[in-house]
Structure 1
């Protein structure tokens, strides 16, 4: 299984340590989609200053996902702190698919309700530079994403 997810954003390089010990199914999905080129060109459609940056929807609207089935929740005890990567979902616990978010600040109110699958080990400055908005006027983009 892959150890890292390497993102090239239009704002810089980001390296995410994958955590299969916390969420093996989600890590497998993220790596599979990344290595298939699914995330290449996808925007961060929701970036809230002091909270999080959300992407992973190929439609750029927040309403889309991959053609793969939704994932069973793998909620864990890992805290949602700055740099943590977690899966976005609807109000249904088992609805995560391809969308994810990176915490820009501590968000402990999310703990135990969303699946943490990784943590940024370098490049938070690039994440911090993403244009803010819901959606941003000129959203930041993932140029390439690869798991290795």
Structure 2
């Protein structure tokens, strides 16, 4: 995927598009993975399985359980000084810092305690209200989902 494809659009079933500016300047490997998975249609139909008010919405697991990932190798951490604040998109991972794969989360509020522990790969520039509208829960009773993930310049 060409580097000029620097915007990810998540069309959510909560009524609209979430536009995320990708940050290859701080996490080139993670951005490449997000682009690759979006291009393959991996995120289409995937739910937000963990949505905690005041904290974050997590998705990217094809099983919808929080334990799944893509069949691609895990990524090496790319920690940066970009703070985890409202609208930041970051990779979820297991205890091992180098275990991020396909799951990600979008912060509802400041979560600075995550700084330098999780890889930030983007920031919401439009449509945060659609993330706010996702059904809450761990997991939500009726999880919100990504209808389609697309890349654009």
Give TM-score scaled by structure 1 length: 0.99
**Aligned counterpart for 2:11 among listed residues 8, 12, 15:** 8
In 2: Cα distance, 1:100 partner to 1:118 partner? 10
Per-residue CA deviations over 1:6-47 (Å, capped at 9, x if unaligned) read 110001211000000000000000010001100000000000
In 1: Cα distance, 2:41 partner to 2:118 partner? 25
Structure 1 residues without counterparts, runs of 5 or longer: none
Q: CA RMSD in A?
A: 0.4
In 2: Cα distance, 1:32 partner to 1:90 partner? 21
Matched, 1:109 2:113: yes
Per-residue CA deviations over 1:41-93 (Å, capped at 9, x if unaligned) read 00000000000000000000000000000000001110000000000000100
Structure-2 residue corresponding to 1:93: 97
In 1: Cα distance, 2:99 partner to 2:52 partner? 22
**Aligned counterpart for 2:33 among listed residues 29, 33, 52:** 29
Residue-pair matches, total: 148
Structure 1 residue runs of 4 or more that deviate by more than 3 Å after TM superposition:
none
Structure 2 residues without counterparts, runs of 5 or longer: none
Give TM-score scaled by structure 2 length: 0.96
Q: Offset of 1:146 from its aligned partner?
A: 1.1
Matched, 1:19 2:23: yes
